[in-house]
Chain A
Amino acid sequence: MARRGFEHFAHDADIGVRGYGPSKEAAFEEAARALTAVVTEPEQVRPERAVTIACRAPDDAMLLCDWLNALVLAMAEEGLLFGRFEVHIEGDTLTATAWGEPLDRSRHAPAVEVKGATLTALRVGREPDGTWVAQCVVDV
C-alpha cells in the first residue's frame, strides 16, 4: 500500500529532500513540506496567505525541480514560509497553491536559507508498492 510523508537524506555539503505519496501530486506536495522542513517545522507555519504557482517542464524530474525552485523564489522574494500545498499536474504542466505566512524569526527559528533545488539525486518515480517518490538535493 502506498505511503505518504517526507524525509531528508544526507549529502556531503547540503541536504536532500524526499516526498512520497499515493500519487505524483502527493509526492510533490510532500517534497515541498520537506523543503520547508529544511528551514523550520512545517507544522509551525500558519496558512495565512495563499500563493499560486504554475510551471511547465519537458519531464517529471525537471518539473519537480521547477516546482521547488518556484517555492524557493517565492520564499526569498516575499519573505514567506509555506506549510500547506495543493498540487495539480496535467501532462507537462503543474499548477499549485501554497499556503503560508511571513517568516517570524522568533517563532520559526529558521535554521538555514535554501539557495536552490539542484539536479543532483533528482528523481521522480514509482516504487514497487505503488508509492510515488519525488526527491532532489537542495543547496543551502
Chain B
Amino acid sequence: MSKLPPAIEIEDLWFSFDKTPILKEVGFVLDQGSFMAILGPNGGGKTTLLRLILGILKPDKGTIRVLGLKPEEARNSLGYVPQNTDINLSFPISVFDLVLTGRLSRSRVGRRYTSDDKEKVNTILEKMGMFEYRHFPVGQLSGGQRQRIFIARALATEPSILFLDEPTASVDPEFEVGLYEFLEELNREVTIVVITHDVGVISRYVKSVACVNRTLVFHGGGKITEEMIDMAYHCPVDLVAHGIPHRVLPEHEE
C-alpha cells in the first residue's frame, strides 16, 4: 500500500499582517486520520494559521502542503466551520438551502443542484439531528443549532479534512460533549483539526496537539502536558482532564 500524503505539511512558515509578525518559523507534519487540537491564547495566531492552510491568506515565506497539494488545489477536500455563525442573522435563507451551498464548487459553477446533492444534504441533516428544522430560517435558530447547521454545511462538501474554529465558543456544555463525541465518530473517516482555547474537554478526544503563540510547538501524542499549556498561554489555566478537575498551575499573583 502506497503511503498517503500527510494531511498537512508546513515548513518554515512566516506570516505578518501590516508588518506585525503573526506567525514565525511554523512547521509540522500532520498525518491523515489524525484528530488535532490547535491551542493557544487569543491573538496568538490560531485562526491566521487556519486561514493560511485553507488558502485564504498567502504566507510571506515557507511552504504549505495540504494532502500533498497547494492549499488552493486541495480546497475541494477541505471542510470549514467558521468561528462566527451569527453573521447575517437577518439573511433570508433556510437551513436546507444553507447546507446545500456546501455542495457548490469551482468545477460546477452555474449548474443546478442534483437530486443526489439534495439527498446527501437530507442525510447529513438527519445525522446532525436537524432534519425537522430544514425549512426553518437560519437566523431564528439557537447558537447550538446554528453550529450544527454550519458543521452540516462543511460535511456536505464531503471533506477529507474538517477544520473547526472554536466550535464550542457559544454553545452549552451539553452540546460541547455531544459535539466531540460526534467528531470522534467522524474521525474514523475524516482528519479533524479543531481550534480551541478550551483545553479541558477536548483532551480526551485528540490524537495530537499544536500550541500556537507566534511560534508553534507540535505534539504528536495525545497527552497535553503542563509545559505545552504554559507555552501556549503564558498564564495559568484550569485544566480539566478526563472529567477530573484539578488546577495545574497557580493563579496569577494579584
To the question of whether A and B form a pair in one complex, the answer is no
